[in-house]
Amino acid sequence: MILKVDPSIWFKVYTTIEFFVLIQYFYRLLKGKYTYLHYFFGILYSVCFGFILYQGKIDNFMDGDDYLQLIESVFVIIAILLWMKYAFINLEEDSLLKYPHFYFISGLLFYFSGTFFLYLLGSVILENEKEYFIDYWMLNLFFNIFFRILLLIGIWKARVQ
Amino acid sequence: MWIGTTVMLFFAFGLLFLVLFYQNYFIKMKRKEAELLLQSSLESEKKERIRIAADLHDGVSGDLNAIRNYLSVLQRGEKDEEKQELFAEIKEGIEAALENTRQVSYKLMPPLLELAGFKVALEDYFGRLTTNSKIAFEFVCNTEAPDFSNEIAYELFRVVQELTTNMIKYGGVTHCLVLLSSPEAEYSLEIIDNGIPFDFYTSLKTSKGSGLKNISSRLKVIGAQMKQKENPKGNHYIITLKR
C-alpha cells in the first residue's frame, strides 16, 4: 500500500518534514530568538502546502515543489545570515572549524544556495526542456551528497567532543 | 539557471570565507594582545620587586641597623643586669628581624643576578637553600657562564625559585641535583629530585593557584621549553633554551 503511493507525494511529504525539522533546528541554534521569523515562515509554508492540496497538485512532480522549496530556501538563508551575525558579534576564541554546527550550517548553505534556482525553474524546465531535466537534476544530486558529507563531518566532530 | 546557481554559490562561499577569515584574524589579534599583556605584567612585577627589595634593604634594614646601634649604646651604659638581659633579648629580636628582611629582600631580587650573572646567582641561591632547609642542593655547571640577557636570566631564576619552593613545601625532597649544560645550539637546565612524583602539566590544567601558571607564563615569555621525564623515584624537569 505504502510503496504504491506516488513518489511525488513522498517528495512533498519529505520536503515538509525537512522544513519543520529545520525550523526546530534553527530555533534551538538561535536560542529562541526571532520567534516571529519561525512562525511567519511556518504559517506561510502551511498555507502554501494547503493551497497545493486544494489545487490537487499533490501528485504532480515539481508542481508546487518550487514554491515550497523557495519558502524553505529563503527561510534557511535568512536563518543562516542571522546565525552568522550572532557568530560575528559573539566571536569565540576557538576556531569555528571546531564546532559541529559550523559544518551543518555550511552544508545547508551550499545545498539551498546551489539548488535555489533549480527548484525555482524546475517546473519550467520540465515543461520546455524535459530531455535536459535529468542533467539539471544532477546538480541536486551533487549538492545533496556534498551536504550529507558535511553533515557527517559535523556529527563526527560532535562525537569527538 | 546556471548563472543564478553560480551567483548563489559565490555568495555562499564568500559568506563562509568572510566569517572564517575574520574569526581567524580576531583569534590572532587576541593572542597577540594576551602575549603583550603577559609581558607587560611580568615586567611590572619585576619592577615592583626591585623597588620593594630596594626599600626593604635601604629603608627597613637601615632603620633596624640604627635601632640595633642605639641599643648597643644603651646596653653599654646600663649597669642593671636585668635590664642588660632585656636589651640583649631585644637585640636578638632585631637581629632576627634584620636577617628576615635580608632574606625577603634577597628572594624578591637577588642582587648577584645583575651583578655577577645567572650561574653565580644560582650557586649562591642553592648554597643558601642548603643551609636553611634540610635538602642537599647540588649545582653542577658543565658549561662556561651562560650569556643570558637580564630578562632571560631573571625569568629563568624565578622559574627555578618557584620549582624549588614547591619542592621544599610539598615535595618531601632530601636531595636535588641541578645541572646546567649547553648541548648543541641550546642551553639545558635539568632539575632532578628524589621527592614525591608530581605531574607538572596535569597539575597545571587543574590548579587554581598562580604558581604553576607563572612558571608556564615565564617560560613562554623567554621562549624556553620545559619537559618532564618519567622518574619513578622523584621528578626530572628539563628546561631548554635556544642560544
B25 and B101 assigned to the same domain: yes
Q: Which residues from chain A sit within 8 angstroms of residue B15, using beta carbons?
A: 80-81, 84, 109
Same domain membership, residue B232 and residue B212 = yes
Confirm or reject contact between B22 and chain A (CB < 8 A): yes
A interface residues, B as partner, C-beta within 8 Å: 80-81, 84, 87-88, 91-97, 106, 109-110, 113-118, 120-121, 125, 136, 139
Give CA–CA dist A117/A139, Å, rounded: 10
Question: Does B43 share its domain with B94?
Answer: yes
- B210 & B164 share domain: yes
Give the pLDDT confidence score for residue A1 in this predicted structure. 57
Between CA A46 and CA A132 the distance in angstroms is 32
Tell me which residue in B8, B19, B30 faces A84 most closely, judged by beta carbons: B19
pLDDT on residue A3: 64
Q: Which residues of A touch B14 (CB under 8 A)?
A: none
Q: What pLDDT was estimated at residue A151?
A: 92
- The Cα of B118 is separated from the nearest Cα of chain A by a number of Å equal to 38
Last residue of a domain, one of B75, B108, B141: B108
Mean pLDDT score, B190-215: 83
Which of B9, B17, B20, B23 is the best substitution to test chain A (most A C-beta atoms within 10 A)?
A: B23
- Same domain for B85 and B150, yes or no, is no
Q: How many domains does chain B have?
A: 2
Q: Are residues B184 and B236 in the same domain?
A: yes
The string of DSSP letters for chain A reads: --TTS-HHHHHHHHHHHHHHHHHHHHHHHTTT--HHHHHHHHHHHHHHHHHHHHHT-TTSTTTTHHHHHHHHHHHHHHHHHHHHHHHHHT--SS-GGG-HHHHHHHHHHHHHHHTHHHHHSHHHHHHH-GGGHHHHHHHHHHHHHHHHHHHHHHHHHHHH-
- pLDDT tens-digit series, residues B167-185: 888 888 888 999 998 877 8
In this structure, the answer to whether residues B80 and B125 fall within a common structural domain is no
CA distance A136 to chain B (A): 9
Give the closest of B4, B12, B26 to A91, CB-based: B26
What's the rounded mean pLDDT across residues B102-130?
85
Is B201 in the same domain as B162? yes
Locate the chain A residue with the closest alpha carbon to B22.
A88
pLDDT in tens, A23-66: 999 999 888 888 888 999 999 999 988 888 787 766 666 667 77
Residue A129 has pLDDT above 80, yes or no: no
Residue B203 pLDDT grade (very low, low, confident, very high; cuts 50, 70, 90):
confident
Residues B135 and B90 in one domain: no
Claim to verify: residue B141 and residue B208 sit in the same structural domain: yes
- Of B108, B139, B164, which one is at a domain's C-terminal end? B108
Classify the complex by whether its ipTM is higher than 0.85, answering yes or no.
no
Do B175 and B67 belong together in one domain? no
Chain A residues close to B8, C-beta within 8 Å: 113-114, 116-117
Give the mean pLDDT of B154-165: 89
Q: Which of A86, A96, A104 to mutate to test the interface with B (most CBs of B within 10 A)?
A: A96
Q: Do A113 and B9 touch (CB under 8 A)?
A: yes
**Closest CA relative to residue B13, chosen from A110, A111, A40, A86:** A110
Range of the domain at B203: 116-242
Residues A71-126 pLDDT 10s: 999 999 999 999 888 877 776 666 778 888 889 999 999 899 888 888 888 777 77
Least confident of A48-52, A58-62, B40-44, B99-103: A58-62
Q: What is the mean pLDDT of residues B137-153?
A: 84
Q: Which residues in chain B have their CB less than 8 angstroms from residue A118's CB?
A: 1, 5
For position B196, which CATH number holds? Answer: 3.30.565.10
Tell me whether residues B16 and A109 touch, CB distance under 8 A. yes
Same domain, B101 and B120: no
Least CB-CB distance to A139: which of B5, B26, B30? B5
Q: Which of B108, B135, B158 is the last residue of a domain?
A: B108
Q: Which residues in chain B are closer than 8 Å to A94, comparing Cβ atoms?
A: 27
Lowest-pLDDT range, A109-113, B29-33, B208-212? B208-212
pTM of the model: 0.58
pLDDT band at B76 (very low <50, low <70, confident <90, very high): confident
Nearest to B207 by CA among B158, B156, B162: B162
